[in-house]
Amino acid sequence: MNKIRNVAVIAHVDHGKTTLTDKMIHYCQDIGEKLPEGDLILDNNDQERERGITIFAKNITVNYKGYKINLIDTPGHADFGGEVERVLNMADGVLILVDAFEGAMPQTRYVTQKALELGLKPIVVVNKVDKENCRPDEVQEDVFELMFNLDATEEQLDFETVYGSAKHNWMGAEWDKPADDISYLLDKIIEVIPEPPVNEGPLQMQITTIDYSSYVGRIAIGRVHRGEINMTMPISLVKRDGSVVRSKIKEIFVFNGLGKQKVEKVECGDLCAITGIADFEIGDTICHFEHPEALPAITIDEPTMSMLFTINNSPMFGKEGDFVTSRHIKERLEKETERNLALRVEQGATPEAFIVYGRGIMHLSVVIETMRREGYELQVGKPRVIIKEIDGVKCEPVEALTIDVPEEFSGKVIEAITRRKGDLLIMEPKGDLIHLEFEIPSRGLIGVRTVLMNLSAGEAIIAHRFDRFEPWKGDIPSRNKGVLVSMEQGNAFAYAMDKLQDRGKFFISPQSEVYEGMIVGEHTRDSDLCVNLTKAKKMSNMRSSGADDKTKLAPPTVFSLEECMEYIAEDEYVEVTPKSIRLRKILLKENERKRATSPSMAIS
């Protein structure tokens, strides 16, 4: 076992974790092994490639100088912290990756705290030292200060620092002396990261990840904490609720390169994948048949946001999706909770509605986008933060928000955040940018990214993480514009849209199919306006001045799924189908909406 090293790679989003892991795979590849073409071969999920971020933690193995290094690539976005929390149990050490310019960002602090609490040995990797205005020495000191503030032990504070550029394929002891390759980092992993401890006694292995194969079904992945595991041996599965299920292992695999290799047995300290066990969940413990002794449960931080998921009941219902009923949606959400520990699902007020709890808008949007691509049709409501009552006081989640922005935009950014109940804590120069740190209610973050990007001409660098619950901070101003709502069903005509351009901006193009109650644009005023876009130009044999002028329409505003979720008001839904994303009013008919908003007929 002294030839095994289990290492997790953790960092803030876009600091280079997956790029570095890729370079290590390429450097250590076995002769003759064919690697996939292109960059970021670990980001193999469609959404990961499109968004340019890691969403799911992944296990790969590289062989270097006779050592087997199990690498765990983790997500960097705060919304996917649940993925990081569960896989850190498999590691003995961590590579804490920081950008040589940005330094320790909010998610770096969050995952570093989790790693230090588990007693993992850190190696700090200062990446991207080739960037302009980089400050590697200051960043290294910032990381030391961060770890000191997180109550790291003396041994953890005595960490090794490696400098380099994963993009340019080198790592070395000094940032201003580029090396030839990344072997220095691999040598440090072997030297610094401890070998897995050999715990004598009956088998214990905690399931931290679930994989699936259409041939063998569900696959349990985890680390053998005690004893050894053999093929075809009978085992006891201790579930999170304490119940014990007897089962038998069919096949055992260890990680080898990008794939898996079938073996007869796995010893203490190694990572493995197991088939043949039924009805298991993340956090369950695989034990010796006669000694069912569970490991401590994996603790996952609670969700901070909820959304209503319901069936699609719009006039477009069933035209594009294969799975449209509440039973389909319920089964898919329950399946998602098996592997997505940070997600929770509850039955809503009606049989067709479900309340889904998650870490943030991106966390929930990834679930919705995945369902959409699998052929599901559904509607989702406005995201809501989770409110708690602590000692009789109404409390809401508060987040730490950091913004790096050019100085000329800093005043507008501070004004926008303070309007959303944000408190400015730190304002200091950082290279050619101004570094701002705020405390802000999670409610204030809904829609803030679009606002800040518009204010800063797209140059703001924004990051946030959940901090704690604080007493309710009062009302926060929401969307200050009304919407244009279609009053007829049919195809939108350019002639009708041209006549309405002075009333607002459109979200649809000419010839788009619309229906009564569908939101087709944003009004210039703070009230909603019903419009008829299906009115065509009447044909006649009379000519008039300017009749032959071409219709000139401004390009429509196209929202992403997350932007739609942030944009809608309480009385609106986002309709999601495999081919379309539409905005609509919950009550489609205008007279029903008026009746619902009148004081005498208000809906509770």
3-state secondary structure 341-365: CCCEEEECCCCCEEEEEECCHHHHH
Residue 16 in marked binding region: yes
Token pair 């294969």 is found at: 322
Phi, psi dihedral angles at 565 (to 5 degrees)? -65, -35
Can you tell me the distance from the alpha carbon of 229 to that of 272, in angstroms, rounded to the nearest whole number? 10
Residue 225 in marked binding region: no
Q: String of b and e for 219-240 (b: at least 16 CB within 10 Å)? A: bbbbbbbbbebeeeeebbbbee
Any idea what the Cα angle at residue 148 is, between residues 147 and 150, rounded to 5°? 65
**Strand 4-11 with 93-99, pairing:** parallel
Can you tell me the distance from the alpha carbon of 398 to that of 27, in angstroms, rounded to the nearest whole number? 43
Can you tell me the distance from the alpha carbon of 357 to that of 561, in angstroms, rounded to the nearest whole number? 17
Q: String of b and e for 516-527 (b: at least 16 CB within 10 Å)? A: bbbbbbbbeeee
Can you tell me the distance from the alpha carbon of 478 to that of 437, in angstroms, rounded to the nearest whole number? 22
DSSP letter for each residue of 186-238: HHHHHHHSPPPP---SS-EEEEEEEEEETTTEEEEEEEEEES-EETT-EEEEE
Residue 15 in marked binding region: yes
Can you tell me the distance from the alpha carbon of 58 to that of 186, in angstroms, rounded to the nearest whole number? 19
Q: Six-digit token pair at 249?
A: 């292992």
Can you tell me the distance from the alpha carbon of 47 to that of 36, in angstroms, rounded to the nearest whole number? 18
Max Cα separation, the chain? 96
Can you tell me the distance from the alpha carbon of 273 to that of 266, in angstroms, rounded to the nearest whole number? 10
- Return the number of other C-beta atoms located less than 10 Å from residue 320's C-beta: 15
Confirm if 76 and 465 have CB atoms less than 8 A apart.
no
Residue 208 in marked binding region: no
Residue 19 in marked binding region: yes
- Of 351, 446, 370, nearest to 401 by C-alpha is 446
Q: Six-digit token pair at 571?
A: 């009385």
- Of 286, 122, 115, nearest to 188 by C-alpha is 122
- Of 442, 436, 437, 438, nearest to 469 by C-alpha is 442
DSSP letter (8 states) at residue 299: P
Residue 256 in marked binding region: no
Non-local (6+) Cβ contacts of 444 within 8 A are 417, 420, 421, 422, 476
Q: How far apart are the first and last CA of the chain?
A: 63
Binding site: what residues are annotated? 14-19, 127-130
Binding site for GTP: what residues are annotated? 14-19, 127-130
